[in-house]
Structure 1
């Protein structure tokens, strides 16, 4: 039975692509590895955002199980704008209610959704692996989950933790989402 394990990265020092995990985030990454080890499934493939905080989140598990981390730029966090935004929470909320909304130099929810879904669909069609981790960021994770649970949106984004873990399970032509962290 195909399962995708969607993981939001652990606590990081910032939002820049090279921002490392905080010391607390490093501890979270080790707790995440222990949590994943206790699950009835064992990951057999890992695809991650190329951002440092995402890679460092799954690295303890990957190292322990000798699984390579495939970096995929389509899993990087969505850019709301190339300019600073004072009211970014309001802008983000608008982007969840209007998937076509876009600021200059930014990416709409639909743009991010398209690239994220490409990764998920490719993973779901991968016949060699059954349990695939997808490591990404809160904004993109929320947009992706909204495709499996229609009510999933801005309020859910606000409640995400670092890290956070969801399992998408495919049975026949149906998908079930479970929040496991």
Structure 2
């Protein structure tokens, strides 16, 4: 069995530079709690989106367990559109309602899911019987989860926190169980 932990990044300061956007002070405090969740567990590998906020969120876990962070470009957040959208929530809701629809310069849900799931499956198959942490983002995380179980959708995405942590148990590529392990305080 492979135990995969999706760690959605902690709160980040807004910036149009998605790649270098750092965690906020609030986010840095959240990272301490995220790291402590994994102190009593065996962690065999840590992967992350290449975005700074995702890497920062899992750095403490990697350091504590003395494993490198392996960045995977395909795990980056979905590109919604070129530039900022006037009404982000409405724009996002549309791509969830119409999985093949994409805004100009953006990815559809189908495109983003295909990109990320191919890498996710490779990671899972490379780590049978391992405990893996993946530093990720809300949209792409839910799309990856949805590829295994359609109950993970826009409404589920809306309930996520920053940070958030979900454990997914796999036998090969079969999803057996999902559990939220993050507790808001």
TM category (shorter chain) comes to over 0.9
- CA distance in structure 2 between the partners assigned to 1:154 and 1:22 by the alignment: 25
Secondary structure, aligned partner of 1:27: helix
Structure 2 match to 1:31: 33
- CA distance in structure 1 between the partners assigned to 2:84 and 2:147 by the alignment: 29
What's the TM-score once normalised by structure 1's chain length?
0.92
- CA distance in structure 1 between the partners assigned to 2:172 and 2:43 by the alignment: 21
What's the TM-score once normalised by structure 2's chain length?
0.90
- CA distance in structure 2 between the partners assigned to 1:173 and 1:72 by the alignment: 19
Secondary structure, aligned partner of 2:4: strand
Number of positions where the alignment pairs a residue of Structure 1 with one of Structure 2? 179
Secondary structure, aligned partner of 1:125: helix
- CA distance in structure 1 between the partners assigned to 2:30 and 2:142 by the alignment: 20
1:78 aligns with 2:78: yes
Q: Which runs of 5+ in 2 are unaligned?
A: none
Structure 2 match to 1:177: 178
- Work out which of the residue numbers 3, 21, 24 in structure 2 matches 1:22: 24
Q: What RMSD over aligned residues (CA atoms) do the two structures have, in Å?
A: 1.6
Q: Which runs of 5+ in 1 are unaligned?
A: none
Select between 166-175 and 48-57 the one with higher mean Cα deviation. Answer: 166-175
- CA distance in structure 1 between the partners assigned to 2:173 and 2:24 by the alignment: 40
- Runs of 4+, deviation exceeding 6 Å: none
Q: Cα deviations across residues 115-162 of structure 1 (Å, max 9, x unaligned)? A: 110121011111466111111111101111112331211111111001
Select between 113-122 and 123-132 the one with higher mean Cα deviation. Answer: 123-132
